[in-house]
Amino acid sequence: MRFHSPQKLKTIAELIGSEFVGPEDFEVLGTNEIHMVKPGDIVFVNHPKYYDKALNSAATIILIDKKVECPEGKALLVSEDPFGDFNKINTHFTRIYNFTEELHDAEIGEGTRIHSSAVIGNNVKIGKNSLIFPNVVIGDRTEIGDNVIIQSGTVLGGDAFYYRKLNGNFDRLISVGNVIIENNVEIGNNCTIDRGVTDSTVIGEGSVLDNQIQIGHDTVIGKKCLIASQVGIAGCCVIGDEVTLWGQVGIASGNKIEAGSVILGKTGVNRDLKKGTYIGMFAEDFKGYLKKEVKLRNLK
């Protein structure tokens, strides 16, 4: 998430009541998750296991639960509760409506048709000649391109599935990102595409999604991908252009699939994949899998 205007380190520290390390006028441009950070971003970390990753990331402001040596050119915000203070910063700069208020500020392009039963949030943009079927829900800040088809029951921009365990309960990391649907995308019935926690969940131009597909927060799907029914993609994944995912494929969080790959039905993806065709619980190379099966069947 980028702030509407640059902020100063001291201003952010005062907002959350934290100590800071670095010049008080150190520039802060926004917040982001560790997978997505850019210079000027705040990233939070609350476990020693991940200190080095956060401190050495592209983020230049680290919201951390312990005072440590600050890398050159960076700044620290030292907080007793980085997770909670990350939420406080995000919701200070992005108002959360959750359909409790209607601003009636959607921008709708010429030739776009929206069924009367569709529900549209605030700060939504929809391009030209798109078609929104009955009972579609479009959350705040969603951006939809031209010539897009979204079929019945699909939800764009629901909350990210991102929690911590706190005092025996689950505490949500509040989602202030959005969903971007590029031009010429088709989305089937009863799909759910979560908005980014601090960035965008993106469906690339020309991609086609079947029914009952779940796409997690901050995942980026490339152009002209084909995704069959009941695929589940966790958060922060990157799917290259012209990837085909067949029915019931499951992809774990933070993994990348190279452009042009084919993932056959019921395959589980738990690591980054180079271009190829894959099958099986742990995404084996398809040709290697067939050779293994032949050998097993020939055992006496």
Mind telling me the catalytic residues? 217
CA 281 to CA 270: how far, in whole Å?
Answer: 9
Query: Would strands 27-31 and 61-64 be described as parallel, antiparallel, or unpaired?
Result: unpaired
Query: Would strands 75-78 and 19-21 be described as parallel, antiparallel, or unpaired?
Result: antiparallel
> How many CB atoms sit inside 10 A of residue 24's CB?
12
Q: What b/e readout covers 248-266, taking b as 16+ CB neighbours within 10 angstroms?
A: ebbbebbbbbbeebbbbee
CA 56 to CA 257: how far, in whole Å?
Answer: 25
Joined together, the tokens standing for residue 204 give 């690339």
- At residue 10, the 3 state secondary structure works out as helix
Residue 272 amino acid letter: D
Radius of gyration of the chain (CA): 21
Joined together, the tokens standing for residue 218 give 């901050």
Least Cα distance to 245 among 216, 236, 224 occurs for 224
CA 286 to CA 276: how far, in whole Å?
Answer: 8
